[in-house]
C-alpha cells in the first residue's frame, strides 16, 4: 500500500512539473495594438525581437534602434504612416512561429524586421516567402538560401571569415579550440569557422557545444578545453550566455592558458556585466561607436541622449534595417505591398548608415567593412578600441575591394 501511494504521489508531482515548465515560456505574449486593416495610407510592419529567453537583453538593444528611428522620423516610413506591430521572438522557433503567423494573418504586415536568432529566421522564412512578405533581419547564417530573407546587419559568414583571417595570423602553428551554444546559429558559425581555419592551414584542437538556453555552468566544457591544451579559443555566445561563459572562463583560469576570440556577440552590450573578466578578449565587428563618420557621430549623440548609454551593434543594425525599409518604401510608386518591397529591395542601392555605406549583394546580405577589436581597461573603464581594420567582405566571406 505504501509504495502504491508513493507512486501516485510522484506521478501527480511529475505531471505538475511538466505542466509547470511547459507554461513558463508563454507567460509573455501579445503586446501589440490593434491592426489597422485595409487602410492603404498606413504601412504595417512587424517587429520581432526577444522580450524573454536568453537573448532578452539583445531584444532590448534591437528595440532601442527601432525606437530611435521612430523618434527621428515621427513614426513615418517612406512618407507613409507607420504602424509598427511588436511581437516577442522568445527563445526559439517554437515560441516565435505563432507570432509570425499572427503578424501575417491578423496584422497583415508587408514586411517583418528584427529577429536575432538565425534559427527563428530559418523557421519563419518559408511562411514569409509563401505570403510574399520580405524579412529584414539583423543577422543571417544562410546567405542566399531563402528568397525573401534580407539581412541588414552583419552576415555571420563575413564576420567569421574576417576573424579567421586574423586568427590564422595569430595562431601560426598552434591549434584552435571551438566552442558554441548548441543551436542553429552556433553550429553555423562554428562550421564556417572550422572550414575557414582549415583552408588557412590552422589545426582544430577540438569542438564542443553547450546546450542552448539551459546551460548555467560551463565548467564541464571548460574542462574539455583545458584538457586539449589549446592556446587559442574561439567562442560563439551572446546575451546572458556570454556573461556567464566569460566570467567562468576567468574563474576556472582559462584566461591564463588560452587567448579568447569571438565575434562581437561575446562582449557587445554585456561588457558592463562581464566586467574585468572580459579584459583582453579579441572580437570582430562591423560596427564600433568610435567609427569616424558624420552619420555615426549623429547616431551616437542622439542615441546616448535618448537612452543614457552608448549604442551597440544590435541597435545600429535594427536602426539600419529601418533606414533600408524607409528608403525602399520612399522611392516606391503605387501601393506598398510585400511583393513590391521585395522587388524594390533588390535594386535599393547604397544605404548610408552609422556603420558606413553598405549595399545588398546577390545573396541579399550586406557588403561591409569589418574591424578587429580588443577589450582594454582605460581611464573610462572597459573599452573596445579597433586594433585592426580588416577591410570589406561579402556575404560568402569573400574579400571585396
Partner 1 sequence: VQDWLQANLVSLLNGIALGVLLYVLAVGLSVMLGMLNMLNLAHGTLYLLGAYAAYTVVGPDAGLMKFGLALLLAIVVGAVAGTALELMARPLEGKGHMDEALLTLGIALAGGVLLSSVFGADIHSIPPPSELGSSVTIAGQPYPLYRLALIVAGLLVAMGVEYVLERTTTGALIRAIVHDREQVSVLGVNVRYVMLGVFAASSALALVAGVLGGPILGAAPGLDGQVLLLAMVVVVIGGLGSSRGALIAALVVGVVQNLGTAISTPLAPFLIFGTMVAVLALRPNGLMGRAAVGR
Binding site for partner 1 (CB under 8 A): 1-3, 5-10, 12-17, 19-21, 23-25, 27-28, 51-54, 56-57, 182, 208-211, 214, 216-217, 219-221, 223-224, 226-227, 239-240, 243-244, 247-248, 251-253, 256, 273, 275
We find the least distance from the C-beta atom of residue 230 to partner 1, in angstroms, to be 15
We find the least distance from the C-beta atom of residue 257 to partner 1, in angstroms, to be 10
Place of cell 508513493: 6
Angle at CA of residue 62, ends 345 and 112, nearest 5°: 35
Within 200-333, where are the H helices? 219-228, 239-251, 254-257, 271-274, 294-307, 313-330
The cell for 309 is: 548609454
Residue closer to partner 1, measured from CB, 15 or 400: 15
We find the least distance from the C-beta atom of residue 282 to partner 1, in angstroms, to be 22
Residue closer to partner 1, measured from CB, 14 or 346: 14
Residue closer to partner 1, measured from CB, 276 or 389: 276
CA 291 to chain centre: 20
Residue closer to partner 1, measured from CB, 25 or 132: 25
Residue closer to partner 1, measured from CB, 99 or 326: 99
Burial of 100 (0-12, 13-18, 19+ CB in 10 A): buried
Residue closer to partner 1, measured from CB, 54 or 394: 54
Which residues are 68's β-sheet partners?
none
Q: How many CB atoms lie within 10 A of CB 276?
A: 11
We find the least distance from the C-beta atom of residue 254 to partner 1, in angstroms, to be 8
We find the least distance from the C-beta atom of residue 370 to partner 1, in angstroms, to be 29
Place of cell 555571420: 156
We find the least distance from the C-beta atom of residue 219 to partner 1, in angstroms, to be 5
Residue 183 DSSP code = S
We find the least distance from the C-beta atom of residue 49 to partner 1, in angstroms, to be 12
Q: How far apart are CA 257 and CA 225, in angstroms?
A: 10
Q: How far apart are CA 296 and CA 355, in angstroms?
A: 7
Residue closer to partner 1, measured from CB, 5 or 172: 5
We find the least distance from the C-beta atom of residue 181 to partner 1, in angstroms, to be 12
The cell for 382 is: 572597459
Residue closer to partner 1, measured from CB, 27 or 41: 27
Sheet of 76-77, strands arranged across: 76-77, 80-88, 42-49, 111-114, 135-140, 149-155
Q: How far apart are CA 271 and CA 265, in angstroms?
A: 10
Which phi and psi angles does 377 have, rounded to 5°? -85, 120
Amino acid at each position: 500500500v505504501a509504495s502504491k501511494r508513493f507512486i501516485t504521489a510522484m506521478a501527480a508531482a511529475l505531471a505538475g512539473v511538466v505542466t509547470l515548465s511547459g507554461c513558463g515560456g508563454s507567460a509573455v505574449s501579445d503586446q501589440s495594438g490593434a491592426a489597422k486593416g485595409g487602410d492603404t495610407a498606413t504601412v504595417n510592419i512587424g517587429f520581432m525581437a526577444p522580450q524573454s529567453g536568453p537573448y532578452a537583453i539583445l531584444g532590448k538593444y534591437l528595440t532601442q534602434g527601432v525606437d530611435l528611428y521612430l523618434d527621428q522620423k515621427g513614426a513615418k516610413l517612406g512618407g507613409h504612416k507607420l504602424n509598427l506591430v511588436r511581437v516577442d521572438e522568445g527563445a526559439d522557433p517554437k515560441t516565435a512561429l505563432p507570432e509570425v503567423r499572427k503578424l501575417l494573418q491578423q496584422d497583415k504586415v508587408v514586411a517583418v524586421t528584427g529577429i536575432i536568432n538565425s534559427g527563428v529566421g530559418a523557421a519563419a522564412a518559408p511562411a514569409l516567402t509563401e505570403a510574399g512578405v520580405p524579412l529584414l533581419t539583423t543577422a543571417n547564417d544562410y546567405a542566399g538560401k531563402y528568397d525573401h530573407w534580407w539581412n541588414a546587419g552583419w552576415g555571420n559568414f563575413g564576420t567569421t571569415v574576417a576573424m579567421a583571417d586574423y586568427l590564422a595570423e595569430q595562431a601560426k602553428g598552434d591549434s584552435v579550440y571551438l566552442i558554441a551554444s548548441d543551436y542553429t546559429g552556433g553550429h553555423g558559425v562554428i562550421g564556417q569557422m572550422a572550414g575557414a581555419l582549415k583552408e588557412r592551414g590552422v589545426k582544430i584542437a577540438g569542438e564542443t557545444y553547450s546546450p542552448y538556453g539551459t546551460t548555467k555552468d560551463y565548467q564541464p566544457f571548460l574542462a574539455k578545453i583545458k584538457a586539449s591544451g589549446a592556446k587559442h579559443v574561439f567562442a560563439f555566445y551572446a546575451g546572458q550566455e556570454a556573461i556567464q561563459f566569460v566570467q567562468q572562463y576567468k574563474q576556472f583560469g582559462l584566461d591564463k592558458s588560452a587567448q579568447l576570440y569571438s565575434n562581437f556577440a561575446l562582449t557587445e552590450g554585456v561588457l558592463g556585466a562581464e566586467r574585468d573578466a572580459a579584459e583582453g578578449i579579441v572580437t570582430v565587428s562591423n560596427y564600433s561607436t568610435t567609427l569616424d563618420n558624420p552619420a555615426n557621430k549623429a547616431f551616437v549623440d542622439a542615441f546616448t541622449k535618448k537612452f543614457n548609454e552608448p549604442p551597440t551593434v544590435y541597435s545600429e543594425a535594427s536602426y539600419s534595417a529601418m533606414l533600408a525599409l524607409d528608403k525602399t518604401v520612399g522611392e516606391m510608386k503605387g501601393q506598398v505591398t510585400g511583393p513590391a518591397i521585395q522587388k524594390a529591395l533588390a535594386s535599393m542601392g547604397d544605404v548610408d548608415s552609422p556603420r558606413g555605406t553598405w549595399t545588398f549583394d546577390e545573396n541579399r546580405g550586406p557588403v561591409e567593412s569589418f574591424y578587429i577589436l580588443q577589450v582594454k581597461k582605460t581611464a573610462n573603464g572597459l573599452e573596445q578600441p579597433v586594433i585592426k581594420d580588416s577591410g570589406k567582405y561579402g556575404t560568402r566571406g569573400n574579400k571585396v575591394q
